[in-house]
Amino acid sequence: MSEEKSETAYRSISEVAGSLNVETHVLRFWETKFDIIQPLKRAAGRRFYRPEDVQLIAGIQCLLHEDGLTIKGVQKIIRDHGADYVRARAEGADAMPGEGAGLTKPQRDQLTSARDQLGEIRRRLLGENAG
């Protein structure tokens, strides 16, 4: 009975949250931290996100959760490189300017492996790997 929305359709906050696997309060919080997230607001404050908003939020999510940047770090990326860069990150662009640019894939893979190993060491030192 229910059909998929077209790619150009506007999405509610719950639809965006569900598609990105985050809570709606996280999206509202990100709106307060990232001025470039500006969903349309209808009666009673209901938010509707355009496809480019969703892509932007997905890019911010990648920078925060996959790349491990802080909110301030993402704000700097947005200031320095713009929204298009963040949207591209959502599509899988992985080399940040100045960070990995010019490296071969084996070199990037080696650095990623080293980063993962350091993260595991950090977790062990902090006692987060109980069990």
pLDDT by residue, tens only, the chain of 131 residues: 445 777 788 999 999 999 999 999 999 999 999 999 999 998 888 999 999 999 999 999 999 988 889 999 999 999 998 998 898 888 776 545 555 555 566 777 788 888 889 888 988 898 865 54
Coil, strand or helix: which one is 26? helix
Q: Which contacts of 49-53 are long-range, i.e. CB under 8 A and separated by 24 or more positions?
A: 49/10, 49/11, 49/12, 49/13, 49/15, 49/16, 50/10, 51/7, 51/8, 51/9, 51/11, 52/87, 53/16
CB-based contacts of 108, cutoff 8 Å, min separation 6 = 94, 95, 100
Give residue for tokens 């071969």.
Answer: 104
Cβ–Cβ under 8 Å, residues 46 and 84: no
Residue 86 CB burial class (10 angstroms; 0-12, 13-18, ≥19)? buried
